[in-house]
Amino acid sequence: MKKIILISGDPNSINSELIYKSLKKIDKKVKKKIYLITNFKLIKSQLRKLKFNLKFSIVNNIDEEIKNDSIKIINIQLRYKYPFNVSVKEASNFVLKSLNLAHDIASKRSDVGIINCPISKNLLKKKIGVTEFLSSKSNVQIDKEAMLIRNKQLAVCPITTHIDIKDVSKKITKEKIIKKVTTINSWYKKNLNKKPKFAILGLNPHNAELRVNSEERKIIAPAILRLKKLGFYVNGPMVADTIFINQYKKYDVIVGMFHDQVLTPFKTIYKFNAINITLGLKYLRVSPDHGVAKDLIKKNKANPTSLLNCIDFINRQ
């Protein structure tokens, strides 16, 4: 059975434009499976500003049938005061309500997948990312969730996600590396029937020359050794400043120690051709691999490729 797709996101962003452009490109059968969790008046206003037009119908839940081919909206109440965007406080409430509703629906239904369009981190409590937010709500065991940025050619995963660089070395542990690689390996075997090839990067420039007191010697290399003994295909610690020249093509997954170590080169190579998958949840959650792009709001320049990839990915599950 093709999954029902719930789409939500930041109300102050390019999301309305992305949704419009994506819905114009997808098959009617897929479109019928899509429910937007948003505010009816807001999205209508945002599309009107862009001179776009879509037919919407408000529904109370994903079991409610409609007779026409309009796009279904589960309406999130909003103190609507602005013609195009909302206050930061109201946007935060909106995002939390949307994510909580999507989580509640998907937790009860095996035929539901979630796409959250880009969301500003400052709208979530404690400035965490959506990966951490949904993992916490799902009571996922600490460090068994994994943020996988993936396309058909390659995937990357940061061991630490949305934290400051000064805190990275304190958050890396042997156990964390092993748990996240195990989660990714299980997902590849279950969903792609494949034993993935991993490259695990060091933390420091030139792997700190593998000095005795370095993270490479104390944490990363022991984790790799343990993973090899468990039967995983793992190489490393690899040097981060050269692997994305050509070596990355030998692997399915590049595991880095912090967010920008792997996401910056990945996005440089593949641009918008990737999606963000949260592994370890009870349901399928994906997101476009880019931000809210506030500089592009109202300019009709947003690229829907990543959102289209998200829709296609869930539809094929």
Q: Is the pLDDT of residue 85 over 80?
A: no
Contacts with 23 (C-beta within 8 Å, 6 or more apart), sequence order: 31, 34, 54, 71
Q: How far apart are CA 167 and CA 3, in angstroms?
A: 39
pLDDT for position 34: 94
For residue 236, what pLDDT band results from cuts at 50, 70 and 90? very high
Q: How far apart are CA 166 and CA 98, in angstroms?
A: 32
Q: How far apart are CA 33 and CA 51, in angstroms?
A: 25
The pTM assigned to this predicted structure is 0.87
Domains in the chain, CATH or no CATH each: 1-140+281-317 (3.40.718.10), 143-280 (3.40.718.10)
* pLDDT, tens digit, 9 for 90 and up, residues 209-228: 999 999 999 999 999 999 99
pLDDT for position 127: 62
Q: Is the pLDDT of residue 36 over 60?
A: yes
Peptide bond into 237 cis (omega under 30): yes
Instruction: Among 17-26, 52-61, 76-85, 187-196, name the one with the lowest average pLDDT.
Output: 76-85
Higher pLDDT among residues 1 and 217, named by residue: 217
Q: Is the pLDDT of residue 152 over 60?
A: yes
What single DSSP character describes residue 77?
P
pLDDT for position 300: 87
CB 283 within 8 A of CB 137: no
Q: State the average pLDDT over residues 240-251.
A: 96
* pLDDT, tens digit, 9 for 90 and up, residues 276-304: 999 988 899 999 888 777 878 888 898 89
E-strand spans in 76-208?
112-116, 146-150, 155-158, 197-201
